């Protein structure tokens, strides 16, 4: 296994891994390396030409504490390679960067149902801060088509159902 920064040639394989690890997330089919900003990097783990691990690292500045920190997103390992040291190797690499760049801390969220991941984080001396993750999408993302009957379409926007008339 080797660790490297994401390259354009590995993007399709990386998105496939993310879809496997996070099936509830709708990943964009098109993005480019130019969209990765200078304070961000994406670390991947590879076995031969297979992308088997991923961490998106964002270097942030905590204005109130006046320190830099790393915020990690989409920490994942291919299910076939779990319990083989992949996540440990990736997090150790991030911790090495933390020391080199004098970043004060690493922060990330994890679903409480990911018991194996939580166990690993504790083993690596990450401390659970006890917070929950909240998200609110723009309304257009929550519009759901329910049914069409004669000249009326029923849709759901947020929590409300609405009937729309259709002139054909």
Q: Is 42 exposed, middle or buried (0-12, 13-18, 19+ CB in 10 A)?
A: buried
Determine the pLDDT at residue 140: 54
Second CATH level (architecture) for the domain 2-135:
3-Layer(aba) Sandwich (3.40)
For residue 162, is pLDDT > 70? no
C-beta separation of 60 from 40 below 8 A? no
Q: What tens digit of pLDDT does each residue of 142-152 get?
A: 545 455 566 66
Taking only the tens place, the pLDDT of each residue in 76-106 is: 999 999 999 999 999 999 999 999 999 999 9
Q: What whole-number distance in Å separates Cα of residue 70 and Cα of residue 95?
A: 9
Domain ranges of the chain: 2-135, 137-168
151 torsion bin: left (phi>0), alpha (psi -120 to 50), beta (else)? alpha
pTM confidence score = 0.75
Tens-place pLDDT, residues 50-59: 999 999 999 9
Residue 73 to residue 36: CA distance in whole angstroms: 13
């Amino acid at each position: 296994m080797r660790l490297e920064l994401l390259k354009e040639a590995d993007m399709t394989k990386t998105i496939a891994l993310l879809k496997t690890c996070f099936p509830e997330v709708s990943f964009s089919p098109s993005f480019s390396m130019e969209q990765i900003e200078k304070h961000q990097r994406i670390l991947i783990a590879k076995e031969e030409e297979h992308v088997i691990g991923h961490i998106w690292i964002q270097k942030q500045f905590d204005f109130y504490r006046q320190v830099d920190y790393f915020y990690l997103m989409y920490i994942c390992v291919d299910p076939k390679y779990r319990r083989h040291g992949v996540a440990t190797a990736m997090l150790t690499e991030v911790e090495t960067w933390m020391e080199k760049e004098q970043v004060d801390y690493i922060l990330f969220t994890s679903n409480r149902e990911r018991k194996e991941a939580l166990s690993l984080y504790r083993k690596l001396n990450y401390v659970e801060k006890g917070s929950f993750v909240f998200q609110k999408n723009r309304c257009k993302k929550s519009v759901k088509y329910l049914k069409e009957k004669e000249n009326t379409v029923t849709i759901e926007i947020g929590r409300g159902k609405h009937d729309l008339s259709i002139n054909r």
